[in-house]
Structure 1
Amino acid sequence: MAFLLLPFAWLYAGIMALRNWLYDIGWKRSETFAVPLLNVGNLRVGGTGKTPHVMWLVEELLRQGHRPAILSRGYGRRTRGPRLAGPADSAATVGDEPWQYYGQFAPQQVPVAVAEVRRLGVALLLREHPETTVVVLDDAYQHRAVRPALNVLLTELARPFYEDFVLPAGRLRESRAGAARADVIIVTKCPPNLSAAKQEVAVQKVRRYARAGAPVLFSTYTYAEPQSLQAAEADASGPGAISGPGPAVLLTGIAQPGPLREYLAAQGYEIRFHAEFPDHHAFAEADLAGLRERWQPGWPIFTTEKDATRLLDPALQGARAGLPFYTIPVRVAFLGDGGAVLRQLLPEMPTQRS
């Protein structure tokens, strides 16, 4: 089937190549701003780990004394146009990933905004938060109308861009040649013990398309202890700690739930039922009713932080009642000296801003 779709893929790739060429020669304009923009994106449709990598960057920028802000498209939200996230918002109004960012970084006063047109979103952030020293863009690799100071390209080890094809024959948003715009390429979702030999094989394949001198780094996921979802609500105390490994249920609405399921299995949990939905799925009462039918008392129900932003919709409060949901916080760690290399690429703090 992929072979039959190749002519359409070539056509799509040609259109994207022409668009990129027009930006490269300056015929189409890329806008810059008074503060640097750091972009985290990918060539492939679907999850490559952008959210935890954005969080790593923001946490590192905070440690360095920056006043970062986050800008996302806000995929799946019911609103349109530039919008700053605030306490009255939800996953429905700003999108699940931006709402997750807001919940994570509101205590550190990191502004979060959404905008389909990124330049309008950056302008909104700088107007409402002039103290901002750097803006982290979530998923803007193909949005050439803004020019990042650092372009971070992510690619999964299990589904690398250099083995994929352009839509609709494959899952790439543009051709592999797009990797040449990256200032650093991170191979994500690696096993923590990935050998140096296997890393070198991937590096050589990436460098067939990457810009000369662009570092190639490797990252893995780390998982924290389960957190009660109910305890996150002001009017609920939660079901308490999990007694230990055993039967469990998994609920996901993300692109790649495999790593989480593998982690839970490694921890000794037996996933008796996996309610697997598409990425950004808007959970409904019927979804939770179906889950309840497969669940038994005493079994924890695991989900992701991203999915939790949608599960906490007040409209689902009744459907969630009595179900012991737990989130598994996911963070990024770099193999070898990857973290140190990436830190060196981050912008320095400005000496003074008017």
Structure 2
Amino acid sequence: MKSIVVGNLSVGGTGKTPHIEYLIRLLRDKKVATLSRGYGRTTKGFILADATVDATTIGDEPFQFFSKFKNIAVAVDGNRTNGIQQLEKLVNPEVVLLDDAFQHRKVTAGFYVLLTDYNHLFADDFILPFGNLREPSMGKKRADLIIVTKCPNDITDLAKEKIKQKLKVDVPVYFSHIVYDEMVYNANSQLRLAEMNQSKLIIAGIANPTSFIEKLKNEGDEVLIYSDHHEFSAQEIETIKARATNKIIITTEKDYMRLQGKIDDAILYYLPIKVALDNTSQFDKTILDYVG
């Protein structure tokens, strides 16, 4: 079984989820499993996702994987070693994608993908509590390749070269940017953003919501910002409903996993994102050559 870690040196906000989804799509011809800690879940131990799970039992990001990709196995376990053993026993995948496991030294993966945010490069950051790094930037030496995420769509070759020099690594460095869907979705319908003329309530409970809000916000729209992986209380749900009078609610896909079933689906939508990488063919070849 091949194993690929997607992680970061910082405390979060680098865009792991859409990059894991990129790998899921790339490896669609393989038997793939994802293994996450299941941040924010109310359960403990190993869980292999099935029809009984939701965001509270396995966490919002794993539930997003489970909801979108029907041909993969999705598991959570705070003990990654046990999680891998259970997956081998129950699923026997060809590839396991380890979500946010860059610091899990008890697990030695076959391939390490390190993400760093264009606006918050690990080379410019400091260890907690003075900065946002979980470990010293020398942890970069464990990476097999690095992706600089959330880049401007028009980033220049000169800017890329300057970043590569700043990172000071001997492995390939790729650059990715966020691509927003032109539609918003819920369980029953979809709407085209460009044709939407109704006022919106925009809800974001992610680490860095600026670009998401900028993509959506027009004059007359309201915005509610919460912490990353925020668990909405009953009182907050009532506040959202009150603020959404005569509005459509648009939230992130991750937040939708926690809000669906609590707010009328007729007004609750999410905006999906994907990532686009530079030098895609070389990146894909590197991953596929490793997987075999």
TM (norm. structure 1) is: 0.78
Whether the 8 Å contact between 2:202 and 2:216 is mirrored in structure 1 is: no
Question: Could you tell me how far apart the structure 2 residues matched to 1:46 and 1:350 are?
Answer: 26
User: Using the alignment, how far apart are the partners of 1:296 and 1:323 within structure 2?
Assistant: 12
Aligned partner of 2:259 in structure 1 is 311
Q: Is 1:327 aligned to residue 270 of structure 2?
A: yes
- Residue 141 of structure 1 contacts residue 151 of structure 1 at CA under 8 Å; is this kept in 2? yes
CA distance in 2, matches of 1:258, 1:101: 23
Query: Bigger radius of gyration, 1 or 2?
Result: 1
- What is residue 276 of structure 1 aligned with on the other side? 225
AA paired with 1:264?
L
2: CA distance between counterparts of 1:241 and 1:164?
Answer: 39
Q: Which has the higher helix share?
A: 1
- Structure 2 SS opposite 1:346: helix
Distance in 1 (alpha carbons) for counterparts of 2:208 and 2:97? 23
After superposition, the C-alpha distances for 1:139-189 in whole angstroms (9 at most, x for unaligned) are: 000001111111000000011111110011111000011111111010000
Q: What is the aligned partner in structure 1 of residue 13 from structure 2?
A: 47
- CA drift of 1:343 comes to 1.2
Matched residues, number = 291
| 1:193-212 equivalences in 2 (<5 Å) | 193-207=154-168, 210=169, 212=170
**Cα RMSD for the two superposed structures:** 1.9
Q: Give SS of 2:155's match.
A: coil
Return 5+ residue gaps in structure 1 as ranges.
Answer: 1-34
The one-letter amino acid of 1:334's match is L
Correspondence for 2:91: 129
Contact 1:69–1:135 at 8 Å: present in 2 too?
Answer: yes
Higher strand proportion: 2
Gaps (5+ residues) in structure 2?
none
Q: CA deviation at 1:271?
A: 6.1
TM-score, normalised to structure 2, is: 0.94
Judged with a 3 Å threshold, the aligned counterparts in structure 2 of structure 1 residues 348 and 195 are, in CA distance, closer, same or farther, namely closer
1:171 alignment counterpart = 132
CA–CA separation in structure 2 for the residues paired with 1:217 and 1:239: 33
Q: CA deviation at 1:294?
A: 2.8
SS at match of 1:280: coil
Aligned to 1:59: 25
Query: What is the aligned counterpart of 2:120 among 159, 162, 175?
Result: 159
Give the CA deviation at 1:194: 0.7
Distance 1:227 1:115, change over 3 A: same
Distance 1:90 1:271, change over 3 A: farther
For 2:69, what is the secondary structure of its paired residue? helix
Aligned to 2:201: 249
Report deviation, 1:246: 5.8
Aligned residue number for residue 78 of structure 2: 116
Matched position secondary structure for 1:290: helix
Aligned positions of 1:292-303 closer than 5 A: 292-297=241-246, 299-303=247-251
- Against the structure 1 CA distance between its residues 347 and 195, is the aligned structure 2 distance closer, same or farther, given a 3 Å change threshold? closer
